[in-house]
Amino acid sequence: MSMATAAPPCEWGYLACFPSDRLSDPATVEPPSGSSVPPPPPPPPAPAPARLPQRKGPLDLRANPKVQLAQAKRFATGVLDHYNKNKKIKFELLDAKPVISIPEPRCCYTHINFTARSSKEDSEEQLFFAEIYHCRKKRSPSGFIVTCCEPLGPDFKVGQKFCKLDGSSAVRKNTDFTHCFACTERMLHPRGENYVAGHCNIPRVYDYVR
C-alpha cells in the first residue's frame, strides 16, 4: 500500500473527517449522531435593500429646477431694485421664469422674464424682460449689472428670432441688432436694440446655450 494515498488520521476532532467541500459551509455540517453539540443557528436574513433617494447620474448635467428658480428670483429681485430706484411707482416681484445665460466673447449675459405688480392700487400683473451682465463682485456686490429692464407690452414677441422679419432689422456682419437668437421661444423680448446679447445670427451659433 502506498503511503501517499492514505487518508490523514482524524487527530483534530470530527470536522477533520468530513470531505473538504462540506467544511466550507457550516450549515451543511451535521454533528455525529448522539453528539451534544447544538446545530449552528441559521444565518440572519439579508436586510432589505434601503430605498435610496433618486440621484442624478454622473452624466446628467441638467440643472436642478429648484436651484434654477431660486437663481432666477435672485436675479429678478436685483433687477427690480435697480428699476425701482428712479421710479415713483415701485414694483414688487411676483414670479420669475428660468433664465437663459448667453456667453458672448469674454463676457456673459443673462436674459430674464419675470412678473411684478406695482404699488398702485388695483394694479395688474406686469411682465418684464431684463438683461444682466455678469461681472466681478468688486465692480458690483451682486455680481451683475443691469443692462436692460423694461415692462413688456402687447408686442412682447417682437425681439424673438422666431417672429417674421419685417425688413427693418439693422444687420451688420452676422449681427442682427433687432432680435435675440440665443433664447428659446419661451423667453419674451422687446425689440433687440434695447439689450446687448444674443444678436449673432450665424445659424446654430447659440445651440450650446440651451
**Interface with Zn ion (CB under 5 A):** 111, 180, 183, 198
Nearer to Zn ion by Cβ, of 78 and 198: the residue is 198
User: Cβ of residue 176: shortest distance to Zn ion, in angstroms?
Assistant: 12
Q: State which residue, 116 or 183, has the beta carbon closest to Zn ion.
A: 183
Is 104 buried (19+), middle (13-18) or exposed (0-12) by CB count in 10 A? Answer: middle
The position carrying cell 429678478 is: 76
Three-state SS string over 165-196 comes to CCCCCCEECCEECCCECCCCCCCCCCCHHHCC
Residue 69 host element (H or E): helix 65-85
Question: How far apart are CB 166 and Zn ion at their closest, in Å?
Answer: 19
Find residue 104's DSSP bridge partners: 107
Q: Residue 152 or 183: which CB sits closer to Zn ion?
A: 183
Which is nearer to Zn ion, 90 or 134 (by Cβ)?
Answer: 134
Least Å distance between CB 206 and Zn ion?
9
Smallest separation, CB 135 to Zn ion (Å):
19
**How far apart are the C-alpha atoms of 91 and 82, rounded to whole Å?**
11
